[in-house]
Amino acid sequence: MKIALIGYGRMGKEIEKIAIERDHQIIVKIDSPEDWKKYASEFKKADIAIEFSMPEYAVDNFMKCFAANIPIVTGTTGWYNDLEKVRKICLENNHSMLFASNFSIGVNILFELNHRLSVLMNKHKNYDVSIEETHHINKIDAPSGTAIILANDIIKNIDKKNKWVNFVSDAENELSIKSIRKENITGIHSIKYDSEIDFLEIKHSAKSRKGFALGAVIAAEWLSGKTGFYEMKDVLF
């Protein structure tokens, strides 16, 4: 595939390595508003775009891909207030888009485990559930998009929880998400069910960005030739 990279930070560079290893070609790298004008003709030759940029640019990037009729895979988070609007535009105009808060295969398995566990634990009212996520100090959004997805699924299945908060709360109806920022932490997410007699915890720890990059390239390979609006679970399950 001929790939356009939108965002050429640490994730973009890792994706470039993985894509080349898998015999794809990076034909353009767009890393600033000026690059859109500078590389407009090159961008139109892409088979697919992989986008890891900043939340404030994400939706505009999507619209540019739609306008050029180029499928897009995005791992940018922090734009989800516009998710339904983007989904509607994508589907109504037969475009192609796949989004994920996290492209790691392990994290997407964690999503499935989290869902199944929350259904089971709803019957056990003596356990209280909380989430903790840890990332590097340069991560802008808190809580992480991955933590929000985990939290929203728990809220759907645990009757006593009806909202999440980004602090440690003692309110029974609030699901606490504790966000920690430390040097050189790629990403750790844990869900803990605690009672007076014991606790149960599921956890995912990323060793490097390679897993995220590999997942994004696999998603791009899967999306090629399709129209519609997809998530990573469509690729894996």
Instruction: State the DSSP string of 188-206.
Output: EEEEEEE-SS-EEEEEEE-
Q: Do 7 and 93 belong to one domain?
A: yes
Whole-angstrom distance, CA of residue 41 vs CA of residue 44: 5
- Cα separation, 128 vs 146, whole angstroms: 20
pLDDT at 139 (0 to 100)? 86
Residue 209 has pLDDT above 90, yes or no: no
Q: Based on the structure, what is the number of domains in the chain? A: 2
CATH number of the domain that residue 58 is part of = 3.40.50.720
> Which residue type is seen at 14?
E
Query: Which of the four pLDDT bands, split at 50, 70 and 90, describes residue 171?
Result: very high
Residues 90 and 111 in one domain: no
Quick one: average pLDDT of 181-192? 93
CA distance 159 to 225: 41
Residue 141: predicted pLDDT: 83
If asked whether residues 98 and 16 sit together in one domain, one would say yes
- Kindly state whether residues 191 and 109 are assigned to the same domain: yes
Question: What pLDDT shows up at residue 184?
Answer: 86
* Cβ-contact 157, 192 below 8 angstroms: no
Indicate whether 73 and 153 sit together in one domain: no
Mind telling me the catalytic residues? 135, 139
Q: Is the pLDDT of residue 175 over 90?
A: yes
**What's the domain range around 138?**
105-205
pLDDT given for residue 168 in this prediction: 96
What mean pLDDT comes out for the span 101-129?
A: 95
pLDDT band of 228, cuts 50, 70, 90: very high
Residue 18 predicted with pLDDT over 90: yes
Reference 146, options 56, 232, 44; nearest CA is 232
Q: Are residues 186 and 216 in the same domain?
A: no
